[in-house]
Amino acid sequence: MTQLARTLRVTDYFTLGWGTMVGVGWLVVMDDWLSRGGPLGAVLGFAIGGALLLPIGYVYGQLVMAIPDAAGEIAYTAKVFPQFVSFATGWMMVLAYFIVCPWEAVAVGRIASYIFPVLDSLEIYRVAGKPVYLPHLIIGLGLTALLTVLNYRGIRLSATFQNWSAFATLVLFAVFVSFGAGHGSARNFSPLFGGNGVLVSIFLVMQIVPYFMTGFESVAKAAEEASPGFRARGFFKAIIMAIVVGILFYTVVIAAVAYAAPWETLTSEKFMTAVAFEHAVGSRWIVNLILAAALLSLFKVFNGNFVAASRLVFALGRRGLVDSRLATVHPVNHTPSTAVIWVGLATAASMFLGQAILVPVSEVGSVASAVGWTAACSAHYAMRPARHQRMVAALGVFLGLMMILMKIIPALPGHFSGYEWLALAIWSAVGLGLNWRGKAVSLQKVA
């Protein structure tokens, strides 16, 4: 069987983990974050929620060092649980990664239209009251096609693209935050919390942290593509670094936006982050800088989630949990070519739902990620590692369950709406259908 290419280094794994985690939420839905928690509530929500992911990141680091398999959670749970648990976990993690791809494909049109307002024209239909414009669709479909081709051609090409876009984003971020900090005021932070009180404000932000910090565990999905001589400890380092840098990025950008301008007066703006800095500096150039950083960040998070989703689909096919043809490896490029094509096609189809999917997707993605994290920590605990590792795994299980419960218990603020339950039900039904078909095809081959 043709093997996946082995070319990745520690830097590649860091930019994959951090790049898959941090997209353009800090530009596109900053108004939602600050409306939920206020400046201090949002900062604390991301800081606490991110810190709670460190035990889970530790568990993933241990698992990927012991089991460097593209299947990730599928492989970990298969060691100790029945096959259906393994499939269900993998299918939920496919959702966690895949759902980001159309999100970014839609977001690129919104960002481009802020630079060129003429793109907000030629409305062709509406979804949930939100217009879908033809130019937005063309731009999103073009980016989807580009990344599909990039990943079809080879992981080295994809990793180089990821490295450049990740580090360029960090440089531009440092520049615009530094300039904004010199023109803002601490008075702009008031009020510090949202209108629901201190604890609820923090809680409402913590609910969406799993979605916006999903990605550190994508390192595991490319574990089979490490370069010869790669030391397994590098996986662990890349995961922890991705989480820490992710926490710092989110908390700093939220604080910087609130410092730059009175946040309550800007929550109705299309791109609150850009508008806040424009108010502070009094010039359009900083907006262009922020939009450039956002576009680079969008490219890398789209690419990183595309890599992770395609590897999981490939792994499901290789294990016979879905149609085994999805496990095809290109004989020249050494990429999971069929899985890459299917992720690209599914992304293109999903983006026709338009910008109505942006905030609801955050909610569903949070739960999908938490399910995968809980299952991985449970598997690690069941493997009976050293005592201190079992304690961290148990903590990871507890935290993962709390993340799930705070979104599905009706009594808690910010719980799932009917639309979000419907989306989960549809995804589950599709998964069951593919699983049944995959097993049927496998039985026919055996016969």
pLDDT of residue 436: 84
Question: 176 near 16, Cβ under 8 Å?
Answer: no
Measured CA to CA in angstroms, residue 118 lies from 108, 110, 112, 204, 294 at distances of 15, 11, 10, 36, 20
* pLDDT score recorded for residue 25: 84
pLDDT of residue 352: 87
Q: So what's the pLDDT on residue 392?
A: 96
- Counting beta carbons within 10 angstroms of the beta carbon of residue 202, is it exposed (0 to 12), middle (13 to 18) or buried (19 or more)? buried
* pLDDT on residue 316: 93
Pull the structure tokens for residue 169.
């984003």
Segment 16-67, tens digit of pLDDT: 999 999 888 888 889 999 999 999 999 999 999 999 999 999 999 999 999 9
What is the pLDDT at residue 28?
82
pLDDT tens column, 164-177: 999 999 999 998 88
Given a contact cutoff of 8 angstroms between Cβ atoms, the answer to whether 4 and 227 are in contact is: no
How far, rounded to the nearest angstrom, does the alpha carbon of residue 414 sit from its chain's CA centroid?
Answer: 20
> pTM (2 decimals)?
0.90
Q: In 3D, which of 423, 346, 332, 309 has the Cα closest to residue 70?
A: 309
Q: 304: Cβ–Cβ under 8 A, 6 or more apart, which residues?
A: 15, 16, 17, 19, 20, 21, 162, 215, 218
The answer to whether the beta carbons of residues 94 and 87 sit under 8 Å apart is no
Residues found in the chain: 447
- Asked if residue 361 lies in contact with residue 347, where contact means CB atoms within 8 angstroms, the answer is no
Q: Tokens 């109505």 — which residue? A: 356
pLDDT score at 212: 86
Residue type, 418: G
Widest CA span of the chain, in angstroms? Answer: 74
Neighbours of 221 (CB within 10 A): 27
- Rounded-to-integer distance, Cα 102 and Cα 355, Å: 10
What pLDDT, on a 0 to 100 scale, did the predictor assign at position 106? 86
**Token digits for 84?**
């259906």
pLDDT of residue 164: 95
Instruction: Please count the other Cβ atoms lying within 10 Å of the Cβ belonging to residue 76.
Output: 30
* Domains in the chain: ranges and CATH: 10-435 (1.20.1740.10)
Cα–Cα dist 77/373, whole Å: 11
Q: What is the pLDDT of residue 181?
A: 77
| Residues lower than pLDDT 50 in the chain | none
- Which amino acid belongs to residue 15? T
Q: Could you tell me whether strands 130-133 and 123-127 are parallel, antiparallel, or unpaired per DSSP bridges?
A: antiparallel
